[in-house]
């Protein structure tokens, strides 16, 4: 489990989990779970295109995540945000179907992108993941206050000179980077569970933004580490354990939130 061939697995999984937990806080408070689910699904055609061109699949994922952001923003100006996200997802999945029809050597890659595959990560994959994760985290930290204000109240943000449209664009770019690096590890179908589950649990444990963000990172790390161990022992997909543990974390967070609410109500009545 801790042998040399697993070293890259632990390193990349740790980076991905920390990034997902950090950015997942804003995914939850902005109600962007659908975008967190749609962007990785829409990005997988980029990996197919990269394979056809013989380049690193991560670059294809980032490119198509960027196309997803542009599609959501542009279509969102003319209609509902959820509809724009869905239309963008459909268009990108259509491209993915086309790219997959051009190759017969992509079945294993498709499986790993949908369901996750942490084993077999090469040394050359670590540096791009680390750099992109650092960019996403630094960008989130620099935009923390305006993002927080616009997330809690778009009207208040506009009154303070924070453009909600600009913040939406910046956040979607950050989210695209985060989902692109997480996709090969936990899979497109479960990226959003790694972002939403830990962050939702953290919000149930505390109302303080910074504390909730740090707790979210801690839960995300615990989720991925535990998932790797269970996957190694059982030989089951790591994505299954990430999804299950994410759901458990969410349930525990909701239970803690309800318990705190009841306690506060009792204190107020007393």
pLDDT digits (tens, 9 = 90+) for 182-203: 777 666 666 777 888 899 889 8
The mean pLDDT value of the chain amounts to: 80
pLDDT at 217 over 90: yes
pLDDT at 2 over 70: no
Task: Pick the closest to residue 217 from 198, 201, 203, 196 (CA basis).
Answer: 198
CA 71-77-79 angle, 5° bins: 95
Q: Average of pLDDT values for 50-70?
A: 77
The residue whose two tokens read 């525990």 is 252
Q: Average of pLDDT values for 38-43?
A: 76
Output the pLDDT for position 114: 65
- The answer to pTM > 0.85 is no
Write out pLDDT tens, residues 258-269: 888 888 777 777
What are the tokens at 88? 């963008």
Task: Pick the closest to residue 23 from 46, 9, 40, 48 (CA basis).
Answer: 40
Q: Average of pLDDT values for 126-130?
A: 83
Output the pLDDT for position 250: 86
Output the pLDDT for position 59: 78
**Distance between CA atoms of 232 and 202, rounded to whole angstroms?**
27
Pick the CATH number of 4-269 from 1.10.3470.10, 1.10.10.10, 1.10.10.60, 3.40.109.10: 1.10.3470.10
Q: Average of pLDDT values for 135-145?
A: 92
């Amino acid at each position: 489990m801790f042998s040399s061939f697993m070293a890259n697995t632990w390193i990349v999984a740790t980076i991905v989990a920390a990034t997902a937990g950090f950015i997942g806080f804003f995914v939850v408070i902005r109600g962007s779970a659908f975008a967190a689910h749609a962007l990785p699904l829409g990005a997988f055609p980029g990996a197919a295109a990269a394979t056809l061109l013989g380049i690193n699949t991560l670059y294809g994922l980032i490119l198509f995540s960027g196309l997803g952001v542009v599609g959501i923003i542009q279509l969102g100006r003319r209609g509902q945000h959820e509809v724009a996200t869905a239309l963008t997802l459909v268009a990108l999945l259509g491209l993915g179907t086309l790219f997959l029809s051009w190759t017969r050597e992509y079945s294993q890659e498709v499986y790993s992108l949908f369901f996750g595959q942490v084993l077999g990560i090469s040394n050359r994959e670590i540096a791009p993941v680390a750099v992109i994760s650092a960019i996403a985290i630094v960008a989130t930290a620099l935009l923390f206050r305006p993002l927080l204000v616009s997330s809690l109240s778009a009207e208040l943000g506009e009154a303070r000179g924070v453009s909600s449209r600009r913040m939406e664009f910046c956040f979607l770019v950050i989210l695209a980077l985060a989902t692109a690096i997480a996709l090969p590890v936990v899979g497109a179908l479960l990226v959003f569970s790694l972002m939403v589950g830990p962050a939702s649990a953290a919000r149930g444990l505390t109302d303080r933004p910074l504390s909730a963000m740090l707790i979210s990172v801690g839960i995300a790390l615990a989720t991925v580490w535990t998932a790797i161990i269970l996957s190694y022992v059982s030989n089951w997909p790591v994505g299954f354990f990430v999804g299950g543990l994410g759901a458990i974390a969410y349930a525990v967070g909701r239970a803690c939130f309800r318990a705190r609410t009841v306690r506060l109500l009792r204190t107020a009545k007393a």
